Amino acid sequence: MKADLMLKLPKPSRNALMTALGISLIAGTVIAQAVPTEPIIWDKRRLDQLDRNVRKLERAIFQRNSNGQPFLMEPDPEVVALQGRVGGVDRRLADVEATLQRMNGDIERLTIDLENMKTENGRLRTRLGESEARLSTLETRAREEAELNAPIVANSPTGTAAGDLAAANRLLSTNPARGERALEVLIVTWPDAEEARIANVRLGDLRLEDEDAAGAVPYFAAALRGWPTAGWAPEATIKLAEALEAEDQSTDACIALREFRTRYGAGAPASLTSRATAVRTSAGCR
């Protein structure tokens, strides 16, 4: 009815009325917007209502488009601003991703370098260990050399000649140089003991093993001084004669053989008699 009334009004009056109504609506809207609203609680009922409203709007838009009146939806400025911010975040994320990729590459290179350093350190540790072992060996040899070349002085590790001789024989099996040194110390420490004669015989045997006949002669001569009657004396006399003959001292070799025949020949075993005959022939003894 109000609509019919408005149609009956003159056009100027109708325009004025519509303008007044528009101003009233705008003012009401502004006032409504100025009044603070309570926050909306989105429970299931409100969400269902929102879904129904959206569906109604979709149907209205579809119907409008079907009637040839296209519906144009202008983008919300806040949405546009939000899209810009999202784009900025995407760019920053891309930068962060690129930085992480570079960091991963750097980490991989550092890992490889670290592994190479570990390998090189392992090789260096091995070489260092080998060098330390060689240095320790050299130091030990230097100490032994100094001890072996030092003047021989009387010293008894066990307190007895028999004990020193047994200790020297044991040392010969593990450290020949130190064993020989122990025998020489025994001779100086116990010069009149039977063990000193045995030590001289042992040193003479060691020289013969090294094919040093000249070095063996003085040890056998020292052991046989006074022509002892011990069981080792006959063979030591033959060894002395063999060493003298090897050094072209035939006269002395023949003298040693005469002493052997005089002092030990009667009870000497056949093996020693055969060796004495061989030396006598080689030296040309009469």
- Give SS3 for 18: helix
What is the reported pLDDT for 37? 60
What is the reported pLDDT for 190? 97
Q: What are the tokens at 91?
A: 């760019």
Place of tokens 């001289």: 200
Residue tagged 């003894």 (tokens): 285
Contact indicator for 276, 238 with CB cutoff of 8 Å: yes
Q: Which tokens go with 15?
A: 């325009």
Q: What is the pLDDT of residue 137?
A: 84
Task: Show the tokens assigned to 167.
Answer: 């200790």
**pTM of the model as a whole:** 0.55
Q: Cβ(269)–Cβ(253) under 8 Å?
A: no
The reported pLDDT for the residue numbered 50 is 78
Do 219 and 207 meet the contact criterion of CB atoms below 8 Å apart?
A: yes
Dihedral sign from CA coordinates of 242, 243, 246, 248: negative
DSSP letters, 193-227, are SHHHHHHHHHHHHHHHHTT-HHHHHHHHHHHTTT-
* 143-187 pLDDT tens trace: 877 777 788 899 999 999 999 999 999 999 999 999 999 999 999
- Place domain 192-283 in its CATH homologous superfamily: Tetratricopeptide repeat domain (1.25.40.10)
Q: Which residue has the tokens 């022939």?
A: 281
**Closest among 164, 239, 169 to 194, alpha carbons compared:** 164
Residues of the chain with pLDDT under 70: 1-40, 64-65, 68-76, 78-80, 82-83
Distance CA 244, CA 279 (A): 10
